[in-house]
Structure 1
Amino acid sequence: MTNFKRLAATTLLTGLTALPLHAQDKEVLTVIVYGGSFGDGWTKSVIEPFEAANPDIDVQIATGLTMQTVAMMRAQRDDATIDVVMMDEVGAAQAKAEGLFEPLDAESIPNLNDLYPRFRSEDDVYTKFMYVSQALTWNKDYIDETPASWEEMWNPDYAGLTVVPDISTSHGNFFLLTANDLAGGNVENVDPGFEKLQSLTPNILTFYTQHAQMAQLFAQGDAAITSWTSDRAQGAIDAGANLGWTIPEEGAYIIDSTIGIAKGTKHLEAAQRYIDYALSVEAQAANAENTYLAPVNSKVELPEAVAAKLPVGEGVLDGLKAVDWDYVTTVRPEWTERWNREVATQ
């Protein structure tokens, strides 16, 4: 992505309207995209080929974390400046509850009809566009054999070497639920999970809030094991990190991100074309290869070498556990307060 596109995205978020000269002759579509290596891969797999196929549209990119994006949608409800949003489903569920989406239309976005059913939201308010899995990730400098269970994070051999995702992230919620599953709880009773996490505290080195932070802890040799994500772990491995990742015998949670159209967009037709392209076989296959994102389009056929790096294959998708974000959204504040009191301060 060019520096100018990054600058243009920043000016939009600060209320300015500076645009490159060439964009004045095109329809400008402003989209939220995750940052870092994800953004680089998305630009290569989706934005550049989309612009090539749609020369009348100039895509401007803004970055933002999920809850920042929801706040932006709320603030721009009556005068949208961001047209297409990308976020974790915990945020999408909140935005849906507040009526902040322009519903998707399958006639204008025909690739919706090719998605695996579990990835289409009720009433097509938004859609999931990719998935990865929660991944038990380990540093091979410390651990020789593939861990069989999430219980390996409680192994006393890794005291001071275990890193946990913070509850302020969606990954922290996944890990709380994982501990809760190990302890026999359920989503409406997380007491066993909090007790299980309290027993982990002697092992905890720190809590991560950013993927880059986790990558650095592994690179420095400070961390032996964590709950991360399949795409980030595989990306680090292919970049030379001495890591491994697995879906343990108890299973793992699916991590799927959503894409949707902001309420009040002035560029509805362009937004629909963009989302349709993001869901296409071509874009989904490119994202799988470039960014380790598993496809949600049922017509995608991946080369064996690509599929081997993703949580795909017979039985894998069906075995991934899903979070009821509509419910979790209502209890997250309580979970966060309790985590900060009972886990983070121990």
Structure 2
Amino acid sequence: MRKILTVMGAAALAASLNAQAAETIYVGGSGGSTEKLYKEQIIPPFEAKTGAKVVYVPGNSTDILAKLQAQKGKQEISVALIDDGPMYQAVGQGLCSKVEDTSAVKELYPAARMVGDKSVGIGFIATGLAYNKDQFAKHGWQAPTSWQDLTDPKYKQKVVIPPITNGYGLLTLMMMARLNGGGEANMEPGFDAMIKKVAPNVLVWEPSPGKMAQMLQTGEAALVVWGNGRVQSVADQGAPVEFVYPKEGAVVIMVAGCVVEGAPQAKLGQQFLQHVVSAESQALMAQAVGFGPVNKTTKLSPEVARKVVFGPDKVNALISPNYDIINAKRAEWTNRWNRAVER
């Protein structure tokens, strides 16, 4: 009898351990300050509410997309939180499940409801210009107001832009095309402007956010293309820098989320995505990492609201890229950029 009870106890313990293991979900997202925010403030209340364990897997968007592609059919990651460009690729490759239209998802701005309802935006970032105010004052320059300022010869060797493999470089190319009679479907004017007018002003095509921040802070970079949140982080450290929404419009980069198709714990994944876009989580993200809230009901202090994309007026003014065209041409444009622009 004792042997039977021992076997039954072992079986119960095994079942209990399996149940606990089954309640663990893996979430892929950015590292750095975003990872810190999730681990310290966003994940703990979700774990307390659901009893689940959330393991945060840090990485850049392209690395996380590559993991989803490699693990197709045997996914380990339940929720992916990546930039909108790679997210459109993930959706197009069947790597994302339909987002449940319940709870906080119903409170999102229309701009955060991504095509096909397989993913949603989890934060708005405005791509525009930033400048070092001390450098501009030293040279007697007026504050920049337009994307076309990047072509002004007076900024020769004073401009820093990330490369095309970074979202900011790609969106600069897109805006140069749009402002010169082209667009995503006709990138020729963009390449022409980048090669002849912008590239001569560029000191370096800098991929590292840390190096970019340092160059902007010291004034080595007087004028840059970057996201409002990253610029605000530099300003918060006391640097004389300011973000500018160009008069033609700032371009939206959304960080987006999806529940991975075929992922373990899909139900928990849906619950976690709802938690991420809730007004409470959105307020935390705005304050900690400068993401503009995608949830219309989010409440922010005036100080935080001033620093992020907040409210329908700012959200509606953002320019949205056509990623269907961009993703189809991305490899071709990258090769051309590497040959002709970034030399």
TM-score relative to the length of structure 2: 0.88
Which of 114, 127, 133 is equivalent to 1:121? Answer: 114
Q: Could you tell me which of 238, 250, 253 is aligned with 1:252?
A: 250
Paired residues for 1:185-196 under 5 Å:
185-196=182-193
CA distance in 2: counterparts of 1:312 and 1:121, whole angstroms:
19
Kept in 2: contact 1:146–1:244 (CA 8 A):
no
Greater CA radius of gyration, 1 or 2? 2
Query: In 1, distance between residues paired with 2:216 and 2:173?
Result: 22
For the 8 Å contact 2:155–2:201, the answer to whether it is kept is yes
- How far is 1:120 from its partner? 1.1
What is the Cα deviation at residue 98 of structure 1? 1.4
- Matched to 1:81, the amino acid is E
Deviations 1:91-143 (A, max 9, x none): 11111121111222224xx2111111221123421111111100200112211
CA distance in structure 1 between the aligned counterparts of 2:37 and 2:176, rounded to whole angstroms: 32
Pick aligned residue for 1:168 from 153, 165, 171: 165
> Which SS does the other structure have where 1:216 is aligned?
helix
Corresponding pairs, count? 321
The answer on 1:46 being equivalent to 2:42 is yes
Assess, with a 3 A threshold, how the Cα gap between structure 1 residues 48 and 150 changes in structure 2: closer, same or farther. same
In the alignment, the residues of structure 2 paired with residue 171 and residue 48 of structure 1 have an alpha-carbon distance, to the nearest angstrom, of: 32
Residues 1:139 and 2:137 aligned together: no
Shift of 1:217: 1.8
Letter in 2 for 1:156: P
> What letter matches 2:75 in structure 1?
A
Q: In the alignment, does 2:27 pair up with 1:31?
A: yes
SS of 1:47's equivalent? helix
Residue of 268, 274, 277 corresponding to 1:276: 274
Task: Give 1:84's aligned residue.
Answer: 79
Give me the whole-angstrom Cα distance separating, in 1, the residues matched to 2:166 and 2:294: 23
Shift of 1:43: 3.1
Question: The residue matched to 2:134 in structure 1 has which SS?
Answer: coil
In structure 2, list runs of 5 or more residues that go unmatched: 1-16
SS in 2 for 1:200: helix
CA distance in 2, matches of 1:26, 1:139: 51
Letter in 2 for 1:67: T
CA distance in 2, matches of 1:165, 1:42: 26
Counterpart-to-counterpart distance in 2, 1:158 and 1:45? 42
How far apart in 1 are the matches of 2:283 and 2:112? Answer: 16
Structure 1 or 2: more helix by fraction: 2
Relative to the length of structure 1, the TM-score reads: 0.87
CA distance in 1, matches of 2:249, 2:98: 33
8 Å CA contact 1:129–1:279 kept in 2: the answer is yes
The offset of 1:26, in angstroms, is 7.7
Counterpart for residue 220 of structure 2: 222
Contact 2:29 2:61 survives alignment (8 Å)? no
Cα distance in 1, alignment partners of residues 243 and 37 from structure 2: 21
Q: Look up the SS of the partner of 2:80 in the other structure.
A: strand
Matched with 2:97 is 102
Task: Tell me the SS of whatever aligns to 2:77.
Answer: coil
Deviations 1:288-338 (A, max 9, x none): 112111111111132211111112346222111001111210011111111
Deviation digits for residues 187-233 of structure 1, max 9, x if unmatched? 21111111111122221111122322211222343211110000000
Unaligned ranges ≥5, structure 1? 1-20
Paired AA for residue 30 in structure 1: Y
Measured after TM superposition, the shift of residue 39 of structure 1 is 2.1
Question: What is the alpha-carbon distance in structure 1 between the residues aligned to residue 114 and residue 249 of structure 2?
Answer: 23
Partner Cα distance (1:101, 1:314) in 2: 28
The aligned residue for residue 159 of structure 1 is 156
